[in-house]
Structure 1
Amino acid sequence: MNTTRQAAPASGWLIFLLLAIAGLFYVKWFPYYHRAFTAASTHSIGTSILMGSAASPPAPSFDAALGYAWAYGKAIWQAMVLGLLLGSAVQALLPAHWVAKALGKTGFGSVAAGGMLAIPGMMCTCCAAPVVVGLRAREASPGGAIAFWLGNSVLNPATLVFMGFVLGWQWAGLRLALGVLMVFGLGYLVNRLVTPGEAHAADARVAELITRQQDGNAFVRWLSIFTRMAVRLVPEYVVLILLLGAARAWLFPHIGPAIGNDILWIVAFAVAGMLFVIPTAGEVPIIQAMLALGMGVGPAGALLMTLPPISVPSLVMLARSFQPRLLAIVAAAVVAFGIVAGLLAVASGL
């Protein structure tokens, strides 16, 4: 009996590791490797998913909603399935104390670990959300989980390479500099807001998870958790994608030289970027198209930092995993980073 109990965690960790490596290689690493050569040779990675080659998104309608949801779904569905598999596997295959040991403390160490683990993930904000749900279910610290969530999109090395070849390396440098501050700074801030009572309760839940007897087959448990997560997260996610697809024209006006570097435009685009949802690296062709239409670098800088990290759908997906005040702080801070990026883009003459 003791031998069986010792073998299960080892086999679970091995299966989880193989799934992560094989899944990320197929969905992210291999396709992005080839896409980087395309970006280098053509200085483009495709058209803007937001509005194509037009100067403004389509008017709000059912067709606009369905068209965006279809284009977005084709771009992310494989990564979403992988995110759900990994998020459920964290809970079914990995012992609770392993997650707590790596990400459970409320100091900077868990934030650093979460941010560094995010870099090979390269997922968009919504595809990373199921993994964050799994980490929080196994009592990863709020700051460590936030760093993992934001780091997937903001510190995505493939996106930085695409950005350098398409927009210019000065844009990639701005993103990297502010991205490091966002991921690790916000993670540390969130952990600092954890009260002693909340930390004690989290420790108690970890102890309960460790001592709780895990009955039944691990794969059956994995399938059960996967199904519950998919049923809870996917329907609300699809509805929100449809609504945002229809509302594109309200969030993003007609793009042209009239949208300059005024602070009001920078703030407006920072807020719109925080609310909207895009696939991985989708901000690159969006910003490229908007700059080509004559939009100022200030609003473009705001979108650089607010389009990727969070969105309304991803915030809703994580509503049960974090206190509302923490998600509100993160959303406000992302907007602030967008404003700073816009102002820096103007000041540096990007």
Structure 2
Amino acid sequence: MSAEPLVVPDPDRRRALLTGMIGVAVLAVLLILGLMWAKWLPYLAKAGTLSDTRTWSGSPIFSAAGQAGSAPSVTGALRFARDYGEAIWRALLVALLVAAAVDALVPRNWLLAVLGRRGRGAQVLSGGLASLPSMMCTCCTAPVAVGLRRRGTPLAASLAYWLGNPLLNPAVLVFLALVLPWPYVATRIVVGAALVFGASALLARLLERSPSGAASTVVASDEGRAAVEDSPRLRDLPPRYLRSLARFTLVLVPEYAVVVLALGVVSATLSDFGGLAHRLGLLAVVLAAVVATLLVIPTGGEIPVILAALSAGAGLGMAGVLLVALPALSLPSMVMVGRALGWRATWASAGVVLVGGLVSGALLAVLG
């Protein structure tokens, strides 16, 4: 009987496996420690406080720019940018670190094995579920969405991740349940899930060239070849990561800061949602959906805005619009992801969020 031939592992494959494992390990450490510092522990403390008081402390972020409905102000814009920066800087830092790790350290075929599954249903499901632990606002999740798309993650999964962070944030759902009646939580879950899992798949189907999405995935039989093509040497990982981090920071952060500052000039003017309701009636709900899709808030920032609007006499329809359209997207977030996701996909996402906000307003009016 002849002996079995000895199979010698391919050095390129062993190197790809080693560097891939190290890259994934670095990403896992950044995610766990970063999110624990920026999100999980602060939100746990916030939830504990809310469970005792059942009252949201603090005013809407837009009040930093001036009284609701006041004239545009550069001084107010600077105050708004300062307060907003203090609220989100930790999450933004973690997002940049994670985005660079996704872009530079994780093998493309490994990433696509998780997020690039065949079929848009599986893609939006994996992207949406992956968004739940990070709990970021739309702007802070933008760098990670850009990193995913740069590495070839399908449009459906990238959109689901981008929208899922703000809309299905478990911490915000808990906050809503503690300070507002149950219809708010139910409306947010129903409309949020429809946008994350339904609208993302629909937009990808309409916008992608290949209806099957095959061009966005790695075929299983090609995984070995892809691993070899994406297998830097171990000593190349640190400079590769630093280059990616510098690129994300130098490109995304300045344009982010400029757009946030510009929005700060008009935030107080545009955020008089209670006044809109008194002056324009039903038309105010449509206008609020447009404005809310563009304005920027930190995670959970929609809650004090809703409370202020209700106290100023706004109805449930207005509150429902703010519940979805305000956190889902913002102009700074759209500017950051536009080149990576494609401008058609970006503006189409704004359109479906606007419609989703109107649906949310109608649903909350019925449930409430």
TM-score, normalising length from structure 2? Answer: 0.88
Within-5 A mapping of 1:209-224: 210=227, 211-212=229-230, 214=232, 216-224=235-243
- Alignment partners' CA distance in 2, 1:204 and 1:77: 35
Structure 2 contact 64–83 (Cα < 8 Å) conserved: no
% identity of equivalent residues? 38
Counterpart among 172, 175, 199 of residue 159 in structure 1: 172
Alignment-mate amino acid for residue 214 of structure 1: P
- Matched residue of 1:277: which SS? coil
* Segment drifting more, 262-271 vs 277-286: 262-271
Alignment-mate amino acid for residue 26 of structure 2: I
Instruction: Report the counterpart of residue 266 of structure 2 in structure 1.
Output: 247
TM-superposed CA distance for 1:12, in Å, is 1.4
- Alignment partners' CA distance in 2, 1:37 and 1:52: 26
TM-superposed CA distance for 1:190, in Å, is 2.3
Instruction: Report the counterpart of residue 150 of structure 1 in structure 2.
Output: 163
Counterpart among 165, 177, 184 of residue 197 in structure 2: 184
TM-superposed CA distance for 1:328, in Å, is 1.8
* C-alpha spacing 1:261/1:32, structure 2 compared with 1 (3 Å): farther
Structure 1 contact 143–186 (Cα < 8 Å) conserved: no
* Segment drifting more, 168-177 vs 221-230: 168-177
TM-score, normalising length from structure 1? Answer: 0.93
Counterpart among 106, 119, 122 of residue 132 in structure 2: 119
Structure 1 contact 58–248 (Cα < 8 Å) conserved: no
Instruction: Report the counterpart of residue 50 of structure 2 in structure 1.
Output: 39
Q: Show CA shifts across 1:262-292 (max 9, x none).
A: 3311111111110000000000111111111
Structure 2 contact 108–226 (Cα < 8 Å) conserved: yes
- Alignment partners' CA distance in 2, 1:320 and 1:10: 30
- Structure 1 residues without counterparts, runs of 5 or longer: none
- Matched residue of 2:190: which SS? helix
- Indicate whether 1:93 and 2:112 are aligned: no
Within-5 A mapping of 1:1-350: 1-2=11-12, 3-42=14-53, 43-51=55-63, 56-104=68-116, 105-193=118-206, 194-196=208-210, 199=213, 201-203=215-217, 210=227, 211-212=229-230, 214=232, 216-253=235-272, 255-256=274-275, 258-259=277-278, 262-348=281-367, 350=368
Alignment-mate amino acid for residue 273 of structure 1: A
Q: Show CA shifts across 1:51-106 (max 9, x none).
A: 26986154211111101000000000010010011111001111100111222244
Equivalenced residues, count? 349
- Matched residue of 1:94: which SS? coil
* C-alpha spacing 1:176/1:7, structure 2 compared with 1 (3 Å): same
TM-superposed CA distance for 1:5, in Å, is 3.5
- Alignment partners' CA distance in 1, 2:67 and 2:103: 45
* Rg larger for: 2
- Alignment partners' CA distance in 1, 2:106 and 2:122: 20
Structure 1 contact 255–294 (Cα < 8 Å) conserved: yes
Q: Show CA shifts across 1:139-198 (max 9, x none).
A: 111010111111111000110111111122221111111111111011211232222289
- Alignment partners' CA distance in 1, 2:216 and 2:226: 11
